[in-house]
């Protein structure tokens, strides 16, 4: 027995449209799948192209450096010629010598002779730089003398002990004019000595 199906032109057109729609839907689905896969692959590549690490941040605040005077500078008793100028040199060790034109002598009654003495404190075992003044002026009743050529011990650079301190002594040169007026000469503003960590 044979089965024969007769299709009209309209039926054939309808079937063709349905088949074409199925093909288009399949193509659309295929394009969507490819696009989705491309996005996933691009995201994966981006995540593999970067890396992140962290580092800790820290700081250590050291003990501030300080300087305190314990003894003032004093050149002691100085005698001067009426016609010749001269100098009295005070070493950081507290000893005196004379110089210049030879108009200064150091009498047997020495008076109080002391180098300036400071205590420097700060971070244990650290080094520090020492800055001395270029000059200073001492006065007595309107008369003046210049103090310059400052020296120190230690010189230029100090080293704090394991306990965080060191004694710093400072000497200088006193310039005395010929016939310098007698009197006790002082400096009211003091002589600055500066220390800084290296």
146 has which bridge partners?
137, 175
Please report which confidence band the pLDDT of residue 5 belongs to, taking 50, 70 and 90 as the band edges. Answer: very low
Per the structure, the complete domain to which residue 95 belongs is given by 66-197
**Residue at 29 is within a domain:** no
> Rg of the chain over CA atoms, in angstroms?
47
At residue 145, what are phi and psi to the nearest 5 degrees? -140, 150
Please report which confidence band the pLDDT of residue 132 belongs to, taking 50, 70 and 90 as the band edges. Answer: very high
Least confident range from 28-37, 53-62, 105-114: namely 28-37
**Residue at 10 is within a domain:** no
What is the per-residue pLDDT for 4? 44
Please report which confidence band the pLDDT of residue 47 belongs to, taking 50, 70 and 90 as the band edges. Answer: low
Largest CA distance in the chain: 160
Please report which confidence band the pLDDT of residue 24 belongs to, taking 50, 70 and 90 as the band edges. Answer: low
Q: What is the DSSP letter of 83?
A: S
Task: Assess whether pLDDT exceeds 60 at residue 22.
Answer: no
What is the per-residue pLDDT for 32? 72
* pTM of structure: 0.75
Residue with structure tokens 């650079």? 157
**Residue at 2 is within a domain:** no
Residues 6+ apart with CB under 8 A from 124: 63, 160, 161, 162, 163, 164
What is the per-residue pLDDT for 42? 59
Residues 6+ apart with CB under 8 A from 128: 65, 120, 122, 157, 158, 159, 160, 195, 196, 197, 198
Contact 158, 198 (CB under 8 A): no
Query: In the predicted model, what is the mean pLDDT of the chain?
Result: 88
Q: Mind listing the pLDDT tens digit for each residue in 155-198? A: 999 999 999 999 999 999 999 999 999 999 999 899 999 999 99
Number of structural domains found in the chain? 1
Of 135 and 41, the one with more pLDDT: 135
Q: Mind listing the pLDDT tens digit for each residue in 107-128? A: 999 999 999 999 999 999 999 9
**Residue at 189 is within a domain:** yes
- The strand order across the sheet containing 194-197 reads 157-159, 127-131, 194-197
**Residue at 109 is within a domain:** yes
156 burial (CB, 10 Å; 0-12 / 13-18 / 19+) is exposed
**Residue at 56 is within a domain:** no
CA pair distance 119, 64, nearest whole angstrom: 14
Q: Going by DSSP bridges, is the β-strand pair 113-114/74-75 parallel, antiparallel, or unpaired?
A: antiparallel
**Residue at 24 is within a domain:** no
**Residue at 31 is within a domain:** no
């Amino acid at each position: 027995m044979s089965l024969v199906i007769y299709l009209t032109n309209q039926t054939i057109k309808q079937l063709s449209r349905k088949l074409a729609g199925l093909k288009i839907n399949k193509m659309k689905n295929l394009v969507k799948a490819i696009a989705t896969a491309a996005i996933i692959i691009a995201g994966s590549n981006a995540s593999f192209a970067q890396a992140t690490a962290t580092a800790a941040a820290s700081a250590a605040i050291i003990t501030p450096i300080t300087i305190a005077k314990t003894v003032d500078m004093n050149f002691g008793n100085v005698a001067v010629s009426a016609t010749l100028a001269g100098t009295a040199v005070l070493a950081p060790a507290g000893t005196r010598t004379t110089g210049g034109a030879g108009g200064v002598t150091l009498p047997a009654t020495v008076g109080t002779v002391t180098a300036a003495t400071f205590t420097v404190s700060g971070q244990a075992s650290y080094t520090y730089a020492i800055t001395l003044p270029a000059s200073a002026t001492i006065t007595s009743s309107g008369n003046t003398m210049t103090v310059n050529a400052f020296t120190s011990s230690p010189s230029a650079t100090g080293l704090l002990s394991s306990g965080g301190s060191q004694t710093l002594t400072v000497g200088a040169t006193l310039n005395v004019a010929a016939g310098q007026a007698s009197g006790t000469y002082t400096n009211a503003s003091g002589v600055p000595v500066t220390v800084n960590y290296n």
